[in-house]
Amino acid sequence: MPTTASTDGRQNAAVSWTRKLNNYRQSSYYRGAFELSVTAVPFTLAWCAMLLAVRWDALWLYALLLLPASGLLVRLFMIQHDCGHGSFLPHRSGNEWTGRIIGVLTLTPFDHWKRSHAIHHASSGNLDHRGIGDIDTLTVREYLALPKWGRFCYRVYRNPAVMFGLGPIYVFLLQSRLPFGAFRKGWMPWLSTMLTNAAVILVAALLIYAVGFWPFLLVHLPIVFLGAAAGVWLFYVQHQFDGTHWAGEENWSFHEAALHGSSHYDLPAPLRWFTANIGMHHVHHLCSRIPYYRLPDVLRDHPELRDIGRLTLWQSFKCVRLTLWDEKHSRLVSFSAVGPKDARSGCL
């Protein structure tokens, strides 16, 4: 367990970094227009080429384009993500309307998502404020307190096939269509969701009318599914990794949770481009107003940030087994760390 002095030192260092990072918050309409163009235009071309591949029975071309098209959809979502933070373009209206339009393609009601994502940023790593915009994670004590059926359900939820297979389908195709659970938040979540649904139906109807029902589904649904699965995976490894920082309310610090509770997912250059530098997540959580196209400038000017929470592509696959927060040792552990003896005694 870290000492009080070391904890205070980490918190002070994290606060100091926030001040330094404010120098990178400037966004640009020219850079934003460029980033949007080099993402939306190739996505449109790839979509059309996949449609031709379906009509010509050119399976090789379809297979060749599916992953890049899905990657470009992920990049569009990351642009929408920056719009939600007000960082992609200099002015609020530009960010909000860009985000709403992209939300039709990503099946994400922008205004509703923006609010829940802001809550995620404000409470990330806080054990007493879990459940909004997070991957559900139980502590060892909470898991052991569940009946057998509850433990079984949690194990199913944390199974990779469910988390990264069925989960993205549920989140983007079902949960995002009806904001149940948001009744206390007023009319905004419902208005945002219903207007997005109406726009999705209109655009889909026009495309189906133009290209046909089955060609539309064969092109668009696989792109959406792979893009959604990649998005869930990215969100997962950004906070569920060995060495992450979580704490209860009394010991929680926004700045420390941002710097040490978010990973630096150090991806190969092509994947960094498709994911719009979101792997530099510790920097993003420290200062979410930095546009993604300026995040590399931060690591260039401050190389000491590179090794904080660093996670390579190969290392990230090992994060899947981390399913429970061990409060006693302040770390994520696997189900196998909780043996039969622990289950009987109710402690680890």
Domain spans, the chain: 22-345
**Which pLDDT score is estimated for 8?**
54
Greatest mean pLDDT among 76-85, 158-167, 176-185? 76-85
Residue 1 clears pLDDT 60, i.e. is over it: no
Q: Which residue has the tokens 């995976």?
A: 233
Decide: helix, strand or coil at residue 223: helix
Residue 5 clears pLDDT 50, i.e. is over it: no
Query: To the nearest 10°, the Cα dihedral for 234, 239, 242, 243?
Result: 140
Helices marked H in 59-212 — which ranges?
59-84, 92-106, 110-123, 140-145, 148-157, 160-161, 167-169, 188-211
List of residues 6+ apart from 122 with CB closer than 8 A = 254
**Which pLDDT score is estimated for 135?**
86
Longest dimension (CA), the chain: 67
Residue 17 and residue 285: Cα distance in Å, rounded? 11
User: Residue 129 — very low, low, confident or very high, per pLDDT cuts 50/70/90?
Assistant: confident
Q: Which of 6-20, 178-192, 224-238 has the weakest average pLDDT?
A: 6-20
Residue 4 clears pLDDT 80, i.e. is over it: no
**Which pLDDT score is estimated for 238?**
93
Q: What is the mean pLDDT of residues 274-279?
A: 97
